[in-house]
Structures are given as C-alpha cells and as structure tokens.
Amino acid sequence: MNFSLTPEQEQIRDAIEKVCTPFDADYWLRKDREGGFPDDFHHALAESGWLGIAMPEEHGGAGLGISEAALMMHTIAATGAGLSGASAVHMNIFGLHPVVVFGTDEQKRRWLPPLIQGRDRACFGVTEPNTGLNTLKLKTRAVREGDHYVVHGQKVWISTAQVANKILLLARTTPIEDCKGTEGLSLFYTDLDRSKVEVREIEKLGRKCVDSNQVFIDGLRIPVEDRVGEEGKGFSYILHGLNPERILIASEAIGLGRAALKRAAGYANEREVFGRPIGMNQGIQHPLAKSWMELEAAHLMVQKAAWLYDQHLPCGAEANSAKYLAAEACYAACENAIFTHGGMGYAKEYHVERYLREAWIPRLAPVSPQLILCFIAEKVLGLPKSY
C-alpha cells in the first residue's frame, strides 16, 4: 500500500496552488460580501486546462481519474478558496460524467470541448421542491412532440443557474403511474433558454458568489438530439455520476477543514493571553488535534473510495462514507477554529466564520447525512430499507 502522491499528482497539487495564489483570502472575503460569480477564478482554471482534468483526452481533457480530480478540488478548497472556489468549478469536473459514459460521439464532440475550455457553463437540475431526496418521484415533465420534448416543471437549489448557459436536466418522460422500478425519467443536456426558464436566486447562509436558485420551466423545447442515452433511463445514468460527486465534495470538505485548522493553529501560536500563547493550553490544543485526526481519517476514506472508483470497483459504501465523514470532520474543524479565535472568530476579517457557513454545504448536499446512514444500514449491514 502506498499513500504518497505520485510525481504527477505532486505536480497537479503545485500547479493548482499556483493558479489559486492570486485569489487570496481577501478575494474570497470580498466575494462573500459582495457576491458575483468568480469569473476570473473560473477563467484562470479554464485557461490552464484544469476544467478537463477528468474528461476524455480525445475531447480535449486530461483523461485522469477521480483520484486526481479529488486532489485538485481538495487543493482549491485548502488554499482558502473553500467551497466558494470549489463550487465555481465543481460541475465542470464530473458533472457531465453521464454524457461521457452514455453520450454518443457526436454529443461528446459537441458538448465536452466548450465545457472544458470554459466557454460553456453547466448547471445540474435534479432537486425539486416537492419531492426532495425521493428522486424517483420527480414531477418535472418532458413530453415528446415530434423531434422535440417540451418541458414544464420546477427545480430548486440549482447552483450556478444564474451564470450557466447549459443545464443537465432530469425530467419525467413517463407518467409516474406507468413507471416500473427506476425507469421513467430521462436525462437531457441542453441550452438554458431563459425565454422559457425563469431563474430566481435563493438568499442563503454562505457561498454568496456561487448562486443557488429556484428554476421555473415553462415550455422549454429540447431537441431529441439533446437527450442523453435512452428515454426513461435517466435515473440510472445519474447514478453513475453520484459516487464520483460524493468523492469530490468530500475532498473539498477536507480541504476546507484543513484551511480552517491552519488558521486556527496560526492564531493559537500568535495570540497571547495570561502571558502565554493560547495554543499552550490543552483546552485549545486538544480540539484542534482531534480535528486533525478526523480530517486525516476521512481523507483516507476519500482516497480509498477514489481508488476503488478508478479501478472500476464498487465504491458506493466508501464514497458515501467519505462524504459523511469528511463533511462532519470539516464542520467540527471550522467550529473549533472559531472557538480558537474567541470573539474574533465571529469577525469576518478572520475568515473562519465564513468557512463554518460554507461547511454546511457538504453536510446538506448532494445527499443528507441521514440518508447516507440509511444507505449504509441497508446496503452494508443488511438491515431493512427504511426510506
């Protein structure tokens, strides 16, 4: 077993750190205050080719695995860009995985290069207000009319829909009463035609610069050639992208947790109270040491899940566990970083309160911790399905 980075992975980490350097803590603090998509950051990563890290080489990507993509996302978050930086490119990295696996050559030629070059920006439309985590009950309806589908419905929490020109959309093509098993939903990758789609931003706790939205779809026309794979099989296609997405967000969470821990340790060494650095007190040391261990342990699970995925081995339990463990470790690290800063932890200029607000995202999305526990109980422990 070898836990060290390969020379190529070290190069990836160093190169990403270099691209991120101009986007320092003050940049992300300003973005957190003022909002506005971090176009310059997105552009810097696109220009240096990083958005295609996991895309096939024949379409302009680097053809690397989820291990490398996870390393990239960890590095972005750990520089202090946190979830604001990671979410600005997250969808690019593995979001179009169902297209890579199930799309035709013509579709890949049409869709992947502009995404890799940063000319297209995609959002991912799955969640709906009235179905929540019960994805098989989605209501947004796509009805075939000749060589088009016409879509009506509503999505919620769709990130980057303010700036995206494309949407990967899961919609119902068979009425729910006629559906068997997981069939009945279809996947489309198509233009986000704003004359038929209204996008309303949701005011939220953190990550102000990467928008999340309510999306109202009223008569969106999707050409048949924008359907990915077979009609009715969209849910199974989406499943292929779920494990890599969990691995990526877990990796981002660990990066964010480590950024918080670094700030906390720095402050604990500098801040003197009662004539000595606060970091000399075990009450300050122990929670930080515990967070370090929790982040390391979660990272091992991320690496294991990524390795399994890259070897084409089943990794559902590991990917879900990685997402759960990383999100919880990240949240605890951010909370400990605030405690370490005392009152200053609550001040925006010390950055850690922003990290804590962002740490909620990997806990809540793309799947809740409760549902992960249900999944492990059922699939690993053999207990009855509870949801």
CB of 367 to ligand FAD, least distance (A): 5
Q: Which is nearer to ligand FAD, 19 or 77 (CB)?
A: 77
Ramachandran region, residue 210 (left: φ > 0; alpha: ψ -120 to 50; beta: rest): beta
Number of H helices, E strands in the chain: 12, 10
Output the smallest distance, CB 10 to ligand FAD, in A: 32
- Residue reference for tokens 């309303």: 200
Min CB(155)–ligand FAD separation in Å: 6
* Beta carbon nearer to ligand FAD, 300 or 364: 364
Count of Cβ atoms closer than 10 Å to residue 262 Cβ: 14
Using the minimum distance from each CB to ligand FAD, give the nearer residue, 55 or 158.
158
For 96, how many CA atoms within 13 A lie in the half-sphere containing its CB?
Answer: 34
Cα dist from 114 to 68, 102, 159, 227, 228, whole Å: 21, 18, 19, 18, 17
β-strand pairing of 166-172 with 122-125: parallel
Chain-centroid distance, C-alpha 242 = 10
CB of 76 to ligand FAD, least distance (A): 17
Binding site for ligand FAD (CB under 6 A): 123-127, 132-133, 157-159, 212, 361, 364-368, 370-371, 374, 386-387
| Euclidean distance between the first and the last CA atom of the chain, given in angstroms as a whole number | 37
Q: What angle do CA 88, 90, 94 make, to 5 degrees?
A: 150
Q: Tokens 């967000």 sit at which residue?
A: 249
- Render the burial of 196-233: b for 16+ CB within 10 Å, e for the rest: bbebeeeeeebbbbbbbbbbebeebebeeebbbbebbb
Considering beta carbons, is residue 131 or 285 the nearer one to ligand FAD?
A: 131
Give the C-alpha separation, 350 to 172, whole Å: 46
Residue 361 near residue 159 (C-beta atoms within 8 A): no
Amino acid at 106: E
> Which residue spans within 193-335 are E strands per DSSP?
197-201, 212-223, 227-228, 272-273, 276-277
Helix (H) or strand (E) holding 39: helix 39-47
- Residue (264 or 325) nearer to ligand FAD, CB: 325
Least distance from ligand FAD to the Cβ atom of residue 361, Å? 5
Q: Minimum Å distance from CB 240 to ligand FAD?
A: 16
In angstroms, what is the minimal distance from the CB of 364 to ligand FAD? 5
Nearer to ligand FAD among residue 317 and residue 365 (C-beta): 365
Closer Cβ to ligand FAD, 289 or 377, answer by number: 377
Residue nearest ligand FAD, Cβ-based? 132
Token pair 């909002």: residue: 35
Shortest Å, Cβ 190 to ligand FAD:
15
Nearer to ligand FAD, 74 or 155 (CB): 155
Smallest gap from Cβ 122 to ligand FAD, in A, equals: 10
Nearer to ligand FAD, 10 or 201 (CB): 201
Least CB distance from residue 245 to ligand FAD, whole Å? 10
Joined together, the tokens standing for residue 40 give 């310059």
Residue closer to ligand FAD (CB basis): 29 or 365:
365
